[in-house]
Amino acid sequence: MNVIFCMMLLAGVVAAAISGGLNEAQAALLSGGTEAVSFCLSMAGAYAFFGGLLGVLRESGVTAEAARMMRAPMQRLFCFAPGEEAALDDICVNLSADLLGMGGAATPAGLSAMRKMAAAHAPGEPPSEAMLLFLTLNMCSVQLLPTTMIALRAAAGARNPADITLPTLTATGVSCAAAVLLCKFMSAGRKRRV
């Protein structure tokens, strides 16, 4: 992150110096923060609304129920190495929280799942099949309702801010399916080489 930020700033200023646009650069630097504040304010209402809905779902126990329902299919999907099943509960909480768009609840459970799976292996061992699959799934977002994008589109004055829901869901589904297939393919290849 650090590198990206520094590169962006340096590239911008250097490009401005070369093309003689230092005036524009100065204006952009001074207005960027203001833009961020008004942008956040324009999204605040929709964000609070989605936060509220998710709060109701969480306190109704829907999240816990979703995690419980995912246990059996997840057990089959992950092909755990011995000792790794200890992470199953955390994996279910992580994936169902992701699905419902509760990033705040998903990350701690996901990190704890990774730690539990790592504990089943000797330190310094390369990541296992289940760990790589779990990591890859977390690197493709699985979300039922793209709340941030809906809030962003509402702030930008879209006619129907939620009309990207189905395409987004399909795109996520396709990319997750591709990730799972590739992971299974790669691990099969790895086994054959050993």
Partner 1 sequence: MFDSSMILPAFVVLTVLCGMHARIDVYGAFVRGAKEGLATLLQMLPYLCAMLTATALLRETGVLLRMETWLAPVLSALGLPGEIAPVALLRPLSGSAALAAVRDVLKTMGADSRAGRIACVISGASETVFFTGALYLGAAGLKRSGYAIPVAMIAYAVGMLAAGWMISP
Instruction: State which of positions 139-178 bind partner 1 (CB under 8 A).
Output: 139-141, 143, 145-146, 148-150, 152-153, 156-172, 174-176, 178
Q: Restricting to residues 82-111, name those near partner 1 by CB under 8 A.
A: 103-104, 107, 110-111
Considering the rule CB under 8 A, would residue 64 count as an interface residue with partner 1? no
Phi, psi for residue 158 in degrees, rounded to 5: -70, 150
Q: How far is the CB of 194 from partner 1 (least distance, A)?
A: 14
Structure tokens at 110: 């996901």
Asked if 36 touches partner 1 (CB under 8 A), the answer is: yes
Which C-beta is closer to partner 1: that of 75 or that of 136? 136
**Distance between CA 133 and CA 139 in Å, rounded?**
10
Which residue is associated with the tokens 């039922």? 144
Looking at the Cβ atoms of 72 and 177, the one nearer to partner 1 is 177
How far, in Å, CA of 153 to CA of 143, rounded?
17
SS3 track for 23-39: HHHHHHHHHHHHHHHHH
In the complex, minimum distance from the CB of residue 61 to partner 1, in angstroms, rounded to a whole number: 6
Stretch that binds partner 1, among 33-41, 67-75, 76-84 (CB under 8 A): 33-41
Of 136, 152, 50, which Cα lies nearest the Cα of 101?
50
Whether residue 77 contacts residue 134, with contact meaning beta carbons closer than 8 Å, is answered with: no
Q: How far is the CB of 93 from partner 1 (least distance, A)?
A: 15
Contact 161, 154 (CB under 8 A): yes
Closest approach, Cβ 116 to partner 1, in A, equals 9
* Candidate residues 29, 72, 79, 188; the one interacting with partner 1 per rule CB under 8 A: 29
CA atoms in the 13 A half-sphere facing the CB of 85: 6
Q: Does 76 bind partner 1 (CB under 8 A)?
A: no
State the minimum distance, in angstroms, from the CB of residue 157 to partner 1: 5
